[in-house]
Structures are given as C-alpha cells and as structure tokens.
Amino acid sequence: MVQISRSNANSLRKPFQDIVRLPMTPLNVLPEDDVDLDFSDVFGPLPTQASEHADSDDPRSAVVSPVASEMVFDNPAIICRRSHSLVGPSESVDLGEEGHGAAEEKLKELSHETAVLKKDIEDNGVSLKAIGIEDFQVLKVVGQGAFAKVYQVRKIGSSEIFAMKVMRKDKIVEKNHAEYMNAEREILTKVDHPFIVQLRYSFQTKYRLYLVLDFVNGGHLFFQLYRQGLFREDLARIYAAEIVSAVSHLHANGIMHRDLKPENILLDAEGHAMLTDFGLAKEFDETTRSNSMCGTLEYMAPEILLAKGHDKAADWWSVGILLYEMLTGKPPFVGGNRQKMQQKIIKDKIKLPTFLSSDAHSLLKGLLQKEASRRLGSGPGGSEAIKSHKWFKSINWKKLEAREIRPSFLPEVAGMQCTANFEDCWTNMSVADSPAASPKCSDNPFLGFTYVRPAASFLKSG
C-alpha cells in the first residue's frame, strides 16, 4: 500500500460518471501491538496511525464518521479502523513461567522426525525438485503479522518474483494453532483458480515454516476502496463476480474460506481480484457444521456469532458484506463496541441506500439473509443461484473465468518487482534479519509440509 497526501489523493480522483465518488478521509487503523492473533493480510497489515474517533468502550470498532450511528449515503464514510481476524474457542498452550522454553519442549512433544533435509518429492509419480531457503534472494519486506513475516523474493537463477510468508514455529505452538497452519498449506495445494493466489512451494527449517506464493502487487481491495471511495456498480460487478467465482471454486472443493474481507482481496497488475489468506479456511462436507468462532467481526455471519454452527453459507454472507461495502463505502453494521456491533449483525435490518439499483438491492437482500438456510447460495443450486441473479446478467462467466473481462480500474504497477502499493513502513525495513537456513535438528512438528506445485498449474503458464 502507498502513503499519499490529501492533495495527491484528490488529483487521483475520478469524476462521478467514472470509477468512483467519495471525498477522501484519513486512513486510521489498529496498531499492530494491539493484535493478539491476526491471520489477516498475507501481504502485510494495514498502516498504523492514531485514532481521532476511537470508541471509548472498544477502540477496535472506531469509525471515521461524525455520527457513528447514522447512515449517510450521500457522503458515505469509510471504515478505516478494522477488527482483526480471530478464531476461538481454542485450547492454548500455557507457557507459565517457562516462557518460550516451554514452547520448544512442546514442539518436541508434537512429533519425532529425523533431521529436516532438502530432498526430492513425488507428485503422481513425477519427481519434483524440492526447494529451500537458499534458492531465493530476499528483495524487500512487504508485511508482518502476529507470527509471520512476508518478503518479496526472487528465485535464484530466474526472473521469477514471489511472496514468501515466513512463520515461526514457536509462536504457532504458543497459540496452539499448528492445525491451522497445516490446514492452510494443505488447502492451498488443492486450489487452482484464476482469481485465487497460488501456492508455489512450501518447506520448513527447524524453527520456521515457509509458504512461497504468487506475488500480487496491485494493492489490497480495501486500500483501493479507501483511496478511490466507493465503486460504481459496473466496476463492483466485475470484482464481485470474480470473488463469487473464486468462492464457488472453494465450495466445489469442500473448502470454506471463513475470513472474506477487502484486506484479503488483492488486485493484480491487470486489475483482477485475487483471493488470498487461507489461515482460517477449513475443509467441510455437506453433512457437517463448524462451531468455531472465527473471522473478522464486521464480516461474520449471524450464525457464527450465535454459535449455532455454520457451513459454507457463512461465506456468502461475507460476500454480501463485501459487496455492500464496495457499493456504499462501508459495511452495513458499524459503530459501538464489539458487543453492540454483534447485536446489530444479529438483530438490525439491512439499510439499503436509494442510489443503488433495484437489482443490487435484490442481490444484497438475498446474500444478507440472517437465516442461513434462506440465504442466496445456500440452497441445492449453490452458487448458480448467485451467478444467475439478474444483477449479474451482463456477466459472461466463461469469459470472466478466462480473464477476458477486464476491470475498468488498473492499479499503478511498474513491473513485477514494483512494491509501490505496499506500505512504506515495511518496504523501507532492512532485510538484514531476512530468513536463513536453520541448523539441522532431530525434531519436526509439521509432517509432510514440503510441497512443489506441478508445472501444469493454471497460473504457471500464464
């Protein structure tokens, strides 16, 4: 993401008839040290600034708006202070007075495997060359989360640029989230879609896990939404269609994302939406429901908050919130502390602005049904009920998934190495502490983590 002055930002604005419409407001987000567990932002958290309108009860839910309880659609406010991804209830590792030493002992208890070696693996009988940290040159830091750091890297001996997500095993074990990290890696190996960021390689050393993904450098959808304001319906329709296509692919493969929000949608250099961050994703079957409290509050479905158990319909609620935010500039349920926001999500009726088309009203009402069984996309037809909705009438889904429909907005990207759409506080950070190969050890708590994506993958030839 890019820091821009108000004067420069105004010069980037497009007229009402063009892409967007909305006066600029200061960006205002939660400091990183206020984050306990943040699976969001695979490509880096949002910038940090002090809040001028923080709610006294709960600083996580402050809104840049003169009156938080009012819906002002002629000049909609942007949510600039965001809740963070969470998951619970979950058994934690009690470190007590032993601190990180206990975490290391916990790692030894999880499994006993021989030293971590770089060796070839097989995929359907085809030998694939394994990859290690020594195969990459670190270029820039592009993000940092609760227990992960993300680097822009170049594969040595080639011009290929990737994003390398590096996670500390001790931090993962402290939070008792090894299963989520293993699930993220496992799920990423199963998805192959034009609007989902692809995992290229995964490997580990004694102390760290590594995910090497496509480097997508057009910025978060949230950043562009903040920068541009709210999107015109024709542009929002393309983004929404690409997101629906990606989520449909996940559901068809038995995967719920469970943390859909603008920060987890990236734009590539051609302006296409790319879904990322599978830290809270989960595999499911049609006969079971999940009981975890997970996601980001503004985008959580009512059934998650009510602990009724949830299924893939919870993703369609989040898509509805995303679409509402793209079209109006903010999510429908905002303001107050976390408890008040939860009550709004569970009880308040959706307020639809009059400047939206009747077809947009219809789609939003269908996606934002509080009763999951009545929600659009939850029936036997699944995502086809959404794709065939009249708001998407102009979308040719085959052309869309062939990436033949181009969004009218193009992010400013000057080549694959460009990091202009990432926050300066990360890209200016020294890479002196870049990841290095750990010494060989006799313990490995993450079995079978190594992965090399076959060359036949969708984006490999793109």
Paired strand residues for 148:
167
List of E strands, 258-359? 265-267, 273-275, 282-283, 293-295
What three-state secondary structure class fits 178?
Answer: helix
Question: How does DSSP assign 217-232, residue by residue?
Answer: -S-BHHHHHHHH-EEP
d(CA 203, CA 232) in angstroms, rounded, equals: 42
Active-site residue set: 259
Q: Assess whether the previous peptide bond of 89 is cis (omega < 30° from 0).
A: yes
Question: How does DSSP assign 72-91, residue by residue?
Answer: --SSPPP--S----EEES--
d(CA 72, CA 65) in angstroms, rounded, equals: 9
**Sequence-distant (≥ 6) Cβ neighbours of residue 346 within 8 angstroms:** 302, 305, 306, 370
Evaluate whether 360 touches 327 at the Cβ level (below 8 Å).
yes
Helix, strand, coil percent content, the chain, rounded in steps of 5:
30, 15, 55
d(CA 89, CA 296) in angstroms, rounded, equals: 14
**Sequence-distant (≥ 6) Cβ neighbours of residue 198 within 8 angstroms:** 188, 191, 192, 213, 214, 453, 457, 458, 459
d(CA 441, CA 1) in angstroms, rounded, equals: 38
- DSSP-derived pairing of the beta strands 230-231 and 20-21: antiparallel
Amino acid identity for residue 88 in this structure? G
Paired strand residues for 267:
273
165: annotated binding-site residue? yes
Evaluate whether 293 touches 86 at the Cβ level (below 8 Å).
yes
Q: Which of 446, 416, 436 is nearest to 216 (CA)?
A: 416
Exposed (0-12), middle (13-18) or buried (19+): which is 325, by Cβ within 10 Å?
Answer: buried
Paired strand residues for 211:
165, 202
Paired strand residues for 294:
87
Q: Which of 374, 368, 313 is nearest to 345 (CA)?
A: 368
Which residues does the annotation place in the binding site for ATP?
165
Annotated binding site: 165
